[in-house]
Amino acid sequence: MQSDIPKVLHKIGGVPMLTHVMRTAATLAPEQTVIVTGHGAAEVEAAARADTDTALFAHQTEQLGTGHAVRQAQAALEGFEGLGLVLYGDTPFVREETLQNMLDTAAKHDVVVLGFEPADPGRYGRLVVEDGAFTRIVEYKDATENERAIGLCNGGLMACPIPLLFELLADLSDNNAAGEYYLTDIVEGARRRGLSAGIAICSEEETIGINTRAQLAQAEAYFQDHARTAHLEIGVTLEAPDTVFFAQDTVIGRDAVVEPNVVFGPGVTIESGARIRAFSHLEGCHVARGAVVGPYARLRPGAELAEDVRVGNFVEIKNATIDEGAKINHLSYVGDAAVGARSNLGAGTITCNYDGVMKHRTEIGQEAFIGSNTMLVAPVKVGDGALTGSGSVITDDVPADAIALSRAAQTNKPGMARKLFDMLRRKKARLERSMSDKR
């Protein structure tokens, strides 16, 4: 990957590829999840813990192959008698239905391998079936020409009862072209014991593995294409689908409309009938039915928009609740705040929430009117029905139904503008003559 970041922490759809795998696996409600780490173990563990607090971790200090990696989980699974699924953190697109298919196939066989038939088998490992029985997996670099002609390829994932899995792993040899312990060799080991091996089939797309930046970009494109199709199929209007970017957990209700060039970061929920206008960026927020956001709006984590709210161009909302029917239509920042129902915030309204050390909260009541270019210096409250004059700096609470004005008195000086401009023009002319003389 040419990166200081561990491979499985590179993001697809706004979350690490490891997170995709973990969330899919979690749909099976496993009794235990063990994550085997290698390079960047501390960073990988931290990312995994951010998504779950139940996973256990094992560390592979030496990179001696996939079989050796899985063996590191043995201590964490001591005494566990159930079925194990082996998944890969850099293969993020396997589906829940495919994992369930592997479990169903495991009811009939001792070892199950995920297989697929790609358009170009390339350098994938091959699944060898002889006389109708699945007998072994051969890595491409160890395969004969006849074996390389096989079209059924190894998807990497496996299912096997945990006690048997570790027995088979103990018998592995590193006598191969790479000098590694291949997890794939457990199929042949099971067959030598007279056990059966089965194959669960999936689509090629589910086995996409990521080892380079180019493959990461291809994986992102694949994810976005499927996310767009999924949202269109449930009744979301995407006016220019190819320009809309989704996160892994984006939720949008039917009859919502998303205009061109919208980006959804992680943690976004858009309810039915809302409209997200062009060139807006949303993350960690909730937009209720009938609300309109944008164009050119930014919703940051903690933004909660109630029904029929209007957030317009060049408005940023962060960690704030905007109640039903409120309007913030132009050039404003509302952070660490609560805005009451049907209130109107004029252009240039700023909640000054940070004093350089601490964040403070602004509270605006119902049906309040905040005049254009008002600075609300938190902590501060504006009561129901109150009004602030344009250009005011509000540092004290404003009672309900009151008008707050806080600005310097205007002073007019007749004729002074002409005198000032004349003086500046003479100064400019002198500078230009001086520069000309120097040339």
Catalytic residues: 330
CA distance 316 to 328: 9
Render the burial of 208-223: b for 16+ CB within 10 Å, e for the rest. bebeeeeebeebbeeb
Phi-psi category of residue 186: left, alpha or beta, with phi > 0 → left and psi -120 to 50 → alpha: alpha
Residue pair 350/368 in contact by the 8 Å Cβ criterion: no
| Residue 287 backbone dihedrals phi, psi, to 5 degrees | -120, 120
Residue pair 183/65 in contact by the 8 Å Cβ criterion: yes
CA distance 61 to 187: 25
* Host H or E run for residue 278: none
- Residue for token digits 């520069």? 435
Strand partners, 38: 40
Strand partners, 398: 382
CA distance 425 to 421: 6
Determine the Cα angle at 127 with ends 125 and 132, to 5°.
170
Strand partners, 403: 387
Strand partners, 128: 136
